[in-house]
Amino acid sequence: MQPIFNAGRTRSQVRLAEAQTEEAALVYRQTVQQAFREVSDALVGYDRSRERRKTQEALVDAARDARRLADVRYQGGASSYLEVLDSDTRLFDAELQLVRARLSELAAFVEVYRALGVIFLRRSQPDRPRAFRVPWVPLFPIISVVLCVGLMSGLLVVTWMRFFGWLILGLVVYIFYSRHHSEFATPPQAAK
């Protein structure tokens, strides 16, 4: 039997439940917006680092040409060896900056994967506690795979060789150590 008069307790409980629902929806929207922002920032960062690498490659080519011309001038007696050493220094600096640009590009590439990678974890362990669920699950993984293939198609052969080298090393470490010590190796605890 329900009491007829409860001093507005039922109405305030309804308002509280509605407020909690609205708060949860706002948190969800903010989380999804943050995820989209992270993916967008990662893609923009990758694009910028790729452009930086291309510019640096052109600079290295120009420095190589300058080094070759300095050597030709020295061999012909038109300049001193100091000019050759100076062009060597500039070439070395340009190559060092190119290595840094490539490293930056790879780091940005990894950031794109990190931003999109949560989808695969959520698919393999759907009961793991998390702040939000990815909407439109069949669509987002397909889009992310297409975007990643597009990003990967612009990488150099040397980058692919290094990638597979590090991949093999990572798999060896995972198989012999991490797989047995990882928190992902144990199933998630049921919520109490």
| CA separation for the pair 84, 91 (Å, rounded) | 10
The pLDDT of residue 68: 95
Mean pLDDT rounded to a whole number for the chain: 78
| CA separation for the pair 57, 15 (Å, rounded) | 62
| CA separation for the pair 74, 10 (Å, rounded) | 94
Q: Token match 């198609």: residue?
A: 153
| CA separation for the pair 105, 46 (Å, rounded) | 6
Position 192 pLDDT exceeds 60: no
The pLDDT of residue 55: 94
| CA separation for the pair 187, 192 (Å, rounded) | 15
Whole-structure pTM value = 0.51
Position 132 pLDDT exceeds 70: no
